């Protein structure tokens, strides 16, 4: 569902938005089914946590990077309404998907509590520019219901968080940007909502992962990070490096030219396309319709 303009205003002014009902029921059901290609269902996990010890090796163990062997998941990373949101927020139609990840967490696997931080530290070589439009957008689609007990992400509104400098934090160690624990307990907002909810925030917003307190909580989300093509100092992935993974060719075959372009695929009309590149690219991706590039 289209993200309302009021949410884009929230993103600009408060630094985050939350929007229930972003995914249609069928999109959500298909994505949830595909999760079990990667993760144990909660009932399986809690029946025997030791059988899934890989999920307990760190609080980031449940991260699985795109592409995934399922179109139902892959397509959500460039969902038309996500692109529409990114275009409105970033002020550019020339969008780059600079990372996409699935993330599963299970109560009791590890302690998921975090201190507040800003994600620019591993999304940019420098610091966020305080300008409109903003340069980076981090989006999360909840694929399970998330309540207060399910380790919701906690986000500090910009107006409260801006008292903390980007770097370094006085009194804290100088190699991360984590403020002391317990800060902003009054101000932070919990990203709770039914499965299919979207939340999004800016790279200059303080936020943190929180502890799962429900005995059998499990939380599943799909993360997609966007900026506009251009800067050399932002980003996380070069998609060519993942272009031999299962799921990649299906993306090329099923995505539209615009959707392909968020990965860096040359647009129709780009001088890259000529008789040779069209023929050889068609050989690499036999099922792809390349007529828009002719």
Which residues of this chain interact with ligand AKG, rule CB under 6 A? 114, 119, 153, 207-209
Q: How many whole angstroms from its chain centre is CA 253?
A: 23
Q: Is 241 exposed, middle or buried (0-12, 13-18, 19+ CB in 10 A)?
A: exposed
54 vs 286, beta carbon nearer ligand AKG: 54
Query: Please, what is the minimum distance in Å from the beta carbon of residue 218 to ligand AKG?
Result: 13
CA distances for 75 relative to 187, 265, 268, angstroms:
34, 16, 21
161 vs 209, beta carbon nearer ligand AKG: 209
Query: Please, what is the minimum distance in Å from the beta carbon of residue 220 to ligand AKG?
Result: 11
Round the CA-based radius of gyration of the chain to a whole number and report it.
20
67 vs 209, beta carbon nearer ligand AKG: 209
DSSP string, 191-228: --B-TT-EEEEETT--EE---B-STT-EEEEEEEEEEE
Query: Please, what is the minimum distance in Å from the beta carbon of residue 153 to ligand AKG?
Result: 3
Q: Count H helices, E strands: the chain?
A: 9, 9
Q: What is the sign, positive or negative, of the torsion defined by CA atoms of 226, 228, 229, 235?
A: negative
58 vs 256, beta carbon nearer ligand AKG: 58
Query: Please, what is the minimum distance in Å from the beta carbon of residue 114 to ligand AKG?
Result: 6
Query: Please, what is the minimum distance in Å from the beta carbon of residue 262 to ligand AKG?
Result: 22
Q: Are strands 136-142 and 198-202 parallel, antiparallel or unpaired?
A: antiparallel
14 vs 207, beta carbon nearer ligand AKG: 207
79 vs 207, beta carbon nearer ligand AKG: 207
106 vs 293, beta carbon nearer ligand AKG: 106
Query: Please, what is the minimum distance in Å from the beta carbon of residue 4 to ligand AKG?
Result: 24
65 C-beta neighbours (distance < 10 Å), count: 14
The answer to whether residues 229 and 263 touch, using CB atoms and an 8 Å cutoff, is no
Query: Please, what is the minimum distance in Å from the beta carbon of residue 207 to ligand AKG?
Result: 5
Q: In what order do the strands lie in the sheet with 136-142?
A: 16-19, 198-202, 136-142, 218-228, 95-106, 63-65
């Amino acid at each position: 569902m289209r993200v309302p303009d009021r949410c884009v205003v929230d993103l600009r002014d408060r630094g985050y938005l939350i929007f229930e009902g972003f995914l249609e029921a069928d999109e959500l059901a298909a994505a949830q089914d595909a999760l079990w290609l990667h993760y144990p269902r909660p009932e399986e996990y809690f029946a025997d946590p030791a059988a899934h010890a890989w999920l307990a090796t760190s609080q980031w163990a449940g991260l699985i990077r795109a592409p995934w062997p399922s179109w139902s998941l892959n397509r959500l990373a460039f969902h038309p309404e996500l692109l529409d949101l990114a275009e409105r927020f970033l002020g550019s139609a020339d969008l780059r998907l600079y990372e996409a990840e699935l993330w599963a967490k299970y109560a009791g696997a590890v302690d998921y509590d975090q201190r507040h931080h800003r994600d620019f530290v591993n999304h940019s070589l420098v610091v966020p520019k305080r300008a409109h439009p903003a340069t980076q957008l981090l989006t999360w689609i909840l694929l399970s219901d998330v309540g207060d007990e399910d380790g919701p992400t906690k986000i500090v509104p910009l107006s409260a968080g801006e008292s903390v400098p980007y770097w370094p934090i006085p009194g804290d160690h100088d190699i991360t940007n984590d403020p002391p624990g317990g800060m902003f307990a009054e101000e932070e907002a919990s990203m709770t909502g039914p499965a299919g909810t979207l939340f999004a925030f800016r790279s200059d917003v303080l936020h943190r992962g929180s502890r799962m307190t429900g005995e059998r909580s499990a939380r599943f989300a799909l993360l997609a990070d966007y900026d506009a093509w251009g800067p050399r100092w932002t980003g996380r992935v070069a998609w060519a490096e993942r272009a031999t993974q299962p799921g990649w060719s299906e993306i090329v075959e099923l995505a539209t030219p615009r959707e392909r372009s968020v990965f860096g695929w040359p647009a129709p009309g780009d001088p890259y396309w000529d008789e040779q590149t069209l023929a050889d690219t068609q050989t690499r991706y036999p099922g792809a319709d390349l007529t828009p590039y002719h």
